[in-house]
Structure 1
Amino acid sequence: MPKATQKRPSLEVDDGDDDDMEMVLASQSQTMTQAEKAAAQLSPDTLEAKVNEIVQYMLIMEQKKIPVKKLDITKHILKDHRGIFLKAMEYAKTKLLRVYGFELTELGQGPGNKKQCYILLNTMDVNDSDHIDYSSEEPKVGLLMIVLSIVFMSGGVVAESIVWHALKKLGIYPDKSHEVFGDVKKLLTQEFVRQMYLEYNRVVNSDPPAYQFQWGQRALKETTKRKVLEFVTKMYGKDLQIDSWKSQYKEVLRSEGRPVDTMEDD
């Protein structure tokens, strides 16, 4: 993955809700034409500086896997020039792709029903590889893939209790600090959720409260159901093919827009 070489700016993510700013932004919905007119009023150097700030900010947040809200960009970077937002993002998208190999992707609402946000997807690898590197030595990536696999093999939504039951077989417990992962419960329910790899929601009308996991929007963008099923098949280490998992393989075919009628039922 390419690294940012610029000096890190003193920008912070605004995790709180700024109602006043949201109202201002809502009242200033714009078209690209309006953004182009606003951009034309700036000097080329000023416009370029703002675009470069956006690019650098996105690269820094990508290293942390933190989605960037539109509010973050307008409040911390564009400030009094928020009218150029669409045009500045268009320039930033082009630069991120051509120079750094990242695709700027809008995800819509983020965790906690926050407003539209953006992430970067790696396009540098062209050999049909995914952004999530299953063979990575990074331990958290392996744990994430295991949890995504549990969710997928359970039909797309899985009770938190089932996830912990599976992880306990690997010596990973929600109430014990792990020598590699540290606080695993916090990792799964906060960090991976903030990064939008997982969704963690309370089961409706559950008493006592019970929670469940689903794939987050970043996971849906960065990997495929086929790749996850291939990962599961390799984990078993037997002479299995991905179509050995009948219902899951049907879901893979559906996700790819391919017919499943010819497959035999379980």
Structure 2
Amino acid sequence: MPAKKSSQVATQSQISIHNGSSDDHDDDDDHILEDDANIRQMVCASIQYILVHSSKLQVIKRLEWINTVLRPMAYDGRKYFPSVHKHVVRILNDTFGYKLVFDEKHDGYVVVNALTKGPLEHRPLANSNQYSKYALLMIIVTCLKRAGGEMASVDFWGILGETFSIRNDESTRLSINQHKIFGDVQKLIKTDFVKEGYLIFEQAKDFTGDTPTQTVKLGFRAQQEFPDETVEKFIEKIDDYGIESDKEDENENNAMDEDN
């Protein structure tokens, strides 16, 4: 879904504000929003700020939100943040169908599509020309989920090498790194997916004197956008095409061992 223009975002935000709220919301907060034009402006500006940043899949830092949006509009932006945050969460959910999820590690927020239709629709502002990129991400996330959320780097690249001929060797020549489907796949996996919060490459501590090992883990955004039930549905679709999962192979081997 393409990003909405700032004017469209502001209009929809103001419509939601002036239309009132559901019974689930505090009347006092609604009256404050109706009576205080300054807070209304801060809410509208905050929604625009969030949607623009979420289209780039960036973590929306709480302090940057306050300093960039609220502080220029009020002397003490922190004072207004709790009220503005509450209304922003409500409007994003009711008007746009998005959830604002707090990432404690980075003291910021990510935006997740609350209107779940399938694994590629969790991303709020993804468009069709990005589907090959996120199809690869879906496979990577599924592998990591089945491995308990992390795996050794050598196993991670081994799976990608066998499946897509993607190997962990980055050349200084850009043409060599170009994958026929995913483009600059090294940058995509090691830089883009990491920066966007989907993957974490972590160097394991070396206490034995051996060569340090690297692990690959699921990032915060991946955990939010790809819940377990979505991954299971994805695996079921793979099974429908006759691709056996590791779990089935393991069960068959166990049965053979029992027979023997």
So what's the TM-score if we normalise by structure 2? 0.68
1:94-134 per-position Cα deviation (integer Å, ceiling 9, x unaligned): 11112211111112113xxxxx111111123468996159x
- CA drift at 1:183: 3.3
Give the equivalent residue in structure 2 for 1:215: 218
- CA drift at 1:149: 1.9
Equivalent AA in structure 2 for residue 82 of structure 1:
R
**Residue 60 of structure 1: SS of its match in structure 2?**
helix
Distance change >3 Å, CA 148–CA 125, structure 1 → 2: closer
Contact 1:233 1:242 in 2 (8 A): no
Give the equivalent residue in structure 2 for 1:119: 110
Equivalent AA in structure 1 for residue 114 of structure 2:
T
Give the alignment partner of residue 131 of structure 1, picking from 101, 104, 122: 122
- CA drift at 1:245: 7.0
Contact 2:200 2:216 in 1 (8 A): yes
Give the equivalent residue in structure 1 for 2:51: 59
Q: How does 1:169-248 map to 2 (within 5 A)?
A: 169=162, 170-174=164-168, 175=170, 176-179=176-179, 180-205=181-206, 208-235=211-238, 237-238=241-242, 244=248
Give the alignment partner of residue 93 of structure 1, picking from 77, 89, 92: 89
**Once the two structures are aligned, what percentage of the paired residues are identical?**
23
Unaligned stretches of 5+ residues in structure 1: 9-35, 111-115, 248-264
How far apart are the structure 1 equivalents of 2:190 and 2:6? Answer: 32
Equivalent AA in structure 2 for residue 124 of structure 1:
L
Give the equivalent residue in structure 2 for 1:168: 161
How far apart are the structure 2 equivalents of 1:128 and 1:223? Answer: 7
**Residue 199 of structure 1: SS of its match in structure 2?**
strand
Contact 2:60 2:110 in 1 (8 A): yes
1:37-85 per-position Cα deviation (integer Å, ceiling 9, x unaligned): xx96xx7222111111110111111111111111110121112322111
How far apart are the structure 1 equivalents of 2:93 and 2:142? Answer: 30
So what's the TM-score if we normalise by structure 1? 0.67
1:49 aligns with 2:41: yes
Give the equivalent residue in structure 1 for 2:25: none
Contact 2:119 2:230 in 1 (8 A): no
State which structure, 1 or 2, has the greater radius of gyration over its C-alpha atoms: 2
**Residue 66 of structure 1: SS of its match in structure 2?**
coil
Normalized per residue, the structure richer in helix is: 2
Contact 2:113 2:123 in 1 (8 A): no
The number of residues matched between the two structures is 213
- CA drift at 1:225: 2.5
Equivalent AA in structure 1 for residue 188 of structure 2:
L
Give the equivalent residue in structure 2 for 1:68: 60
**Residue 96 of structure 1: SS of its match in structure 2?**
helix
How far apart are the structure 2 equivalents of 1:95 and 1:70? Answer: 18
**Residue 65 of structure 1: SS of its match in structure 2?**
coil
Give the equivalent residue in structure 2 for 1:146: 139
Unaligned stretches of 5+ residues in structure 2: 9-28, 171-175, 252-257
How far apart are the structure 2 equivalents of 1:239 and 1:214? Answer: 25
**Residue 178 of structure 2: SS of its match in structure 1?**
coil
Distance change >3 Å, CA 127–CA 208, structure 1 → 2: closer
